[in-house]
A = this chain, B = another copy of it.
């Protein structure tokens, strides 16, 4: 696998399964659409490698998003419309990439899987 995408999920929100899946999906789609076309096509062709990892809170989420931006990786921070589980406007997760495995791991290599 040469390309992958990472989804960062806030663990402090303790999102229920379905909510997490929906929010992660938002992040995946938006970050993929923001990636350079060539990267996206290559990643899609390979089977869209993806990992879902946890960050402690909003502050940590933004820290990793900034690190990704700094090296030119596409990002998408997702806020929930919030009618049910969390307050409206709550940042729930972020998509990072797709980009090369090397670049993605440089940013999120130390984070633990959800």
Binding site for B on A (CB under 8 A): 5, 7, 9, 17-18, 20-22, 24-30, 32-33, 44, 47-48, 50-52, 81, 113-114
Contacts and interface: CB of A to CB of B under 8 A. Distances in A.
Nearest to A84: B113
Copies of this polypeptide in the complex? 2
26 contacts: A5-B25, A7-B21, A7-B22, A7-B25, A9-B21, A17-B17, A17-B114, A18-B52, A18-B113, A20-B20, A22-B24, A24-B24, A25-B25, A25-B27, A25-B29, A25-B50, A25-B52, A26-B48, A28-B28, A28-B29, A29-B32, A29-B44, A29-B48, A30-B44, A30-B48, A47-B81
Given A18-B52, A24-B25, A29-B48, 14 more contacts: A9-B21, A20-B21, A21-B24, A21-B25, A21-B114, A24-B24, A25-B28, A25-B29, A25-B50, A25-B52, A26-B28, A28-B28, A28-B29, A29-B29
